Amino acid sequence: METETSTIPIEKDYQELREAVARVCGDFPGEYWRELDAKSEYPTKFVKAMTEHGFLAALIPEEYGGSGLPLRAATVILEVIHETGCSAGACHAQMYTMGTVLRHGSPEQKQEYLPKIASGELRLQAFGVSEPTTGSDTTQLDTRAVRDGDEYVVNGQKIWTSRALHSDLMLLLARTTPKDKVEKRTAGISTFLIDIRGAQGNGVDIRPIDTMINHHTTEVHFDDFRIPASSLIGEEGKGFYYILDGMNAERILLSGESLGNARYFIKRAVDYANERIVFGRPIGQNQGVQLPIARVYAETEAADLMVRKACAIFDNEQPCGAEANMSRLLSAEAAWNAAEVCFDTFGGFAFAREYDIERKWRETRLARTAPISTNLVLTYIGQHVLGLPRSY
């Protein structure tokens, strides 16, 4: 019987796109990422290359200068970036934040911003949702935007606003009606597309947070920051609903990254297990080494099917909350399990930075916490899919 030794799945969609992305990623080897990681620097050159090849504008319609591809194609782009050992963490936000502008922005907003985002002239990489005191309970957010003539005045604090120092625009979620004046906790929240160029020190204070990964995340303080009323996306008070479909897109897209991470670790583990000779034989000949790799391969293939299902439903404009959350859960777990297995396979060498395993292992852990924690995904499935009582 012929044996399947490749870690590449038999059927891969968007083959040409995969090859094109992999070609560009080939210019950014582990050494590039290792150096940035050591200095906590932003991958400007990589983001420029991704922009110039149009990959970051995959979801922007052709009329606005993008390629108008479905979510599935964008998910594949992120998967390949991570499968090749690169990281889209510095630039992936553009893919899911621009959807809110596209679906709910006015014709003027779309015409003004989308072509510039597509060309790279404007960077939309910051998404201000999380706040220090409210955590996963997004509807309780406290940042206020109060209408004053032709402006809104913003006050409050965001935390974990990634890439705010490397973005021109921010998609901001703020309360426009106080909590005690709304009937539903999801009401009274609005979405704004704000220009943060030159805002630092002028009503906005952005402070980097030192984290275990090179993610350029920050805390953002707003102190009487005035924004034009035209920054409002859609109707005032409906912002929470606008970002919900964007959040499904985000979960699916980032699942692509997790699949890519899982495949990266599996390939590295397989190669090393075949090459490393201990006790006179390749370590991969030992079942204690081989079977965990086989297991995470199966987990990754299963997660891949769920991601494809979620993409198909999203691209058919059907409700995909269950599938988006299950994609997030399964792909994040497959990636983390693959990271652990790869770490074990490399033995002590996993700790040596030059092998890139420890760096990817650190980076891969994030998917179990952000953009949504594992528990919160499970509570969604419990309540919305299985009909169990709301637990939070």
Find the shortest distance in angstroms from Cβ 382 to ligand FAD: 10
By C-beta, is 267 or 368 nearer to ligand FAD?
A: 368
d(CA 5, CA 377): 34
Find the shortest distance in angstroms from Cβ 72 to ligand FAD: 23
Find the shortest distance in angstroms from Cβ 372 to ligand FAD: 5
Find the shortest distance in angstroms from Cβ 181 to ligand FAD: 24
Cβ atoms of residues 57 and 65 within 8 Å:
yes
By C-beta, is 182 or 370 nearer to ligand FAD?
A: 370
By C-beta, is 137 or 235 nearer to ligand FAD?
A: 137
Find the shortest distance in angstroms from Cβ 63 to ligand FAD: 28
CA dihedral 187, 188, 193, 194 (to 10 degrees): -150
Total residues belonging to the chain = 392
By C-beta, is 10 or 212 nearer to ligand FAD?
A: 212
Measuring CA to CA, which residue among 229, 238, 239 is closest to residue 148?
A: 229
262-274 burial, b if ≥16 CB within 10 A, otherwise e? bbbbbbbbbebbe
Kindly give, in sequence order, each residue whose CB lies less than 8 Å from that of residue 270, ignoring residues fewer than 6 positions away. 7, 284, 293
From residue 49, alpha-carbon distances to 31, 114, 184 in Å are 17, 19, 44
Find the shortest distance in angstroms from Cβ 361 to ligand FAD: 15
* Tokens matching residue 10: 């038999």
By C-beta, is 308 or 359 nearer to ligand FAD?
A: 359
Find the shortest distance in angstroms from Cβ 115 to ligand FAD: 24
By C-beta, is 135 or 208 nearer to ligand FAD?
A: 135
Please identify which residue in the block is written with the tokens 């929240």: 189
By C-beta, is 7 or 331 nearer to ligand FAD?
A: 331
By C-beta, is 346 or 361 nearer to ligand FAD?
A: 361
d(CA 112, CA 117): 9
Find the shortest distance in angstroms from Cβ 378 to ligand FAD: 8
By C-beta, is 161 or 345 nearer to ligand FAD?
A: 161
Measuring CA to CA, which residue among 247, 258, 253 is closest to residue 173?
A: 247
* Tokens matching residue 327: 């994609």
Contacts to ligand FAD by CB under 6 A: 127-130, 135-136, 160-162, 211, 215, 217, 366, 369-373, 375-376, 379, 391-392
d(CA 144, CA 130): 14
Measuring CA to CA, which residue among 208, 218, 241 is closest to residue 103?
A: 241
Cβ atoms of residues 319 and 378 within 8 Å:
no
Find the shortest distance in angstroms from Cβ 375 to ligand FAD: 3
With CB atoms as reference, the residue minimizing the distance to ligand FAD is 135
By C-beta, is 260 or 371 nearer to ligand FAD?
A: 371
* Tokens matching residue 295: 């297991």
d(CA 292, CA 308): 24
4: exposed, middle or buried (Cβ count in 10 Å: 0-12, 13-18, 19+) = exposed
Find the shortest distance in angstroms from Cβ 129 to ligand FAD: 3
d(CA 261, CA 254): 11
By C-beta, is 243 or 289 nearer to ligand FAD?
A: 243
Task: Give the H/E segment covering residue 282.
Answer: strand 281-282
Find the shortest distance in angstroms from Cβ 217 to ligand FAD: 4
d(CA 319, CA 44): 36
